[in-house]
Amino acid sequence: MLAAYDGHALVDWSWVADHGDEIVARLREHAVLLGWSMLLALLFAIPLALASLGRRRVYGIVLATTGILYTIPSLAAFSLLLPYTGQSRLTAIIPLAAYSLLILVRNIVTGLERVPTDVQDAATGLGYSRRRKLWQIDVPLALPTIVAGVRIAVVTTIGLISVSALIGQGGLGALMTSGFEKDFYTPLVVGVVLTVAFAIAADALLLGAQKLCTPWARRSVAR
């Protein structure tokens, strides 16, 4: 089957043309894994960050715990889940979400804590309740830092999804491993290029969305 294609050309465009459906399906799978894992990560990161606000000790424990999760290599984390979740998407999604926790919690907390005290005092003086101040003053002002965290998490996750190809998931990573195993450059190169392009596009999209949501922040805030 491969004989028809040039295995050692960097990209054999005829293979790309013949496998358009497969490439699109892998890309979609990559996006689905990204979507679910980011959703799960935010679902846990937001309450953890809110619980850590103004509580140094809780924050320390949360950072230490998510830090240890962050240390576990992805291949090991996927493999440790195999006996429980088998070959379902969850095997990839749970560790991917766990990796994003540290970055998300840290950026949410840092962002909210960096809201200038005088702004907070002014809000309180105007009679804002704590909850209203959080959602209407603190969160919008912290948005650039929070989105910066989401961007790092998204870019990181897009790269990590590929590794889960080794345990039967992987999205675009499955293209990479199949190319590698057949000593056939094209799928590998297509997989790598699309992964990087996906990461850059997602990053740019998030940055654009943040710029739209925070028109007052002319200069983008560093992470």
Partner 1 sequence: MGAAIGGAVSALATSYFGSVLDWLGDGANWHGTEGVPHRFLEHIQISLVSLVIAVVISVPIGLFFGHLRKGGFVVVNIANLGRAIPSFSILLLAVLLWGIGNPPRVLTSIGIVSFPAFVALVALAIPPVLTNTYIGVSGVDDDVRDAARGMGMNDRQVLQSVELPLATPLIMAGIRTSGVAVVATATLLAYVGGGGLGRFIIDGAAIDYQDPRIFVGALFVALLSVITELSLAAAQRLVVPRALQRAEIDVARTPVPAPAVPL
By CB under 8 A, residue 168 contacts partner 1: yes
Q: What does R_g of the chain's alpha carbons equal in angstroms?
A: 21
As measured in angstroms, the least distance from the Cβ of 89 to partner 1 is 14
Q: Which stretch binds partner 1 (CB under 8 A): 40-48, 115-123, 127-135, 174-182?
A: 174-182
Please tell me whether residue 159 adopts helix, strand or coil conformation.
Answer: helix
CA distance 159 to 155: 7
- Check if the beta carbon of residue 185 is closer than 8 Å to that of residue 6: no
Which three-class secondary structure state does DSSP give residue 48? helix
Q: Examine residue 2 and tell whether it contacts partner 1 (CB under 8 A).
A: no
Binding-site member from 11, 23, 53, 166 for partner 1 (CB under 8 A): 166
Q: Is 168 left (phi over 0), alpha (psi -120 to 50) or beta?
A: left
Sole binder of partner 1 in the list 133, 176, 190, 210 (CB under 8 A): 176
What secondary structure does DSSP assign to 176-218, as a single string?
Answer: HHHHHHTT-HHHHHHHHHHHHHHHHHHHHHHHHHHHHH-TT--
Of 17-25, 35-43, 136-144, 172-180: span binding partner 1 (CB under 8 A):
172-180
Tell me which residues touch partner 1 (CB under 8 A).
Answer: 67-68, 70-80, 82-84, 86-87, 99, 102-103, 110, 145, 152, 155-156, 158-160, 162-163, 166-168, 173, 176-177, 179-180, 183, 185, 188-189, 191-192, 195-196, 199-200, 203, 222-223
